[in-house]
Amino acid sequence: MELTGKVAIVTGASSGVGSDTALQLAQRGARVVINYANSKAGAEATLQGVNEAGSEGLVVQADVSDDSQCRALVNAAIEAYGQLDVLVNNAGTTTYVEHKAMDLLTDDIWHDTLNTNLLGPFYMTRAAAPHLVQSGGGEVVMTSSIAAFTTGGSSIAYGASKAGLNSLTQHLARVLGEQNIRVNAVCPGLLDGSWAREGWGDAWETVKATVEERAALGKMASPNDVADAILSLITGSDLVTGQLLTLDAGFSIR
Q: Are 37 and 22 in contact (CB under 8 A)?
A: no
Q: What is the pLDDT of residue 192?
A: 84
Q: What is the pLDDT of residue 200?
A: 72
Q: State the CB neighbour count (10 A cutoff) for residue 76.
A: 18
pLDDT-derived band at 250, boundaries 50, 70, 90: very high
**Catalytic option among 36, 81, 123, 158:** 158
Region 5-31: mean pLDDT is 98
Region 158-181: mean pLDDT is 98
Q: What is the pLDDT of residue 45?
A: 98
pLDDT over threshold 90, residue 132? yes
Element (H, E) at 78: helix 67-81
Q: Taking Cα atoms as reference points, which of 227, 225, 196 lies closest to residue 23? A: 227
- Rounded CA-CA distance 168/121 in Å is 9
Task: Give pTM, 2 decimals.
Answer: 0.95
Q: What is the pLDDT of residue 206?
A: 83
- Rounded CA-CA distance 91/86 in Å is 15
Sorted by where each begins, the domain ranges of the chain are: 7-192+222-237
Q: What is the CATH number of domain 7-192+222-237?
A: 3.40.50.720
pLDDT over threshold 80, residue 88? yes
Is 158 among the residues known to form the active site? yes
Q: State the CB neighbour count (10 A cutoff) for residue 89.
A: 31
Tell me, what DSSP letter sits at residue 193? S
Q: Mind listing the pLDDT tens digit for each residue in 64-80?
A: 999 999 999 999 999 99
Q: What is the pLDDT of residue 29?
A: 98
SS (H, E, C) 120-182: HHHHHHHHHHHHHHHCCCEEEEEECCHHHCCCCCCCHHHHHHHHHHHHHHHHHHHHHHHHCEE
- Rounded CA-CA distance 147/156 in Å is 9
Burial class (CB in 10 A: 0-12, 13-18, 19+), 84: buried
Q: Mind listing the pLDDT tens digit for each residue in 179-189?
A: 999 999 999 99
Q: What is the pLDDT of residue 208?
A: 86
pLDDT over threshold 80, residue 205? yes
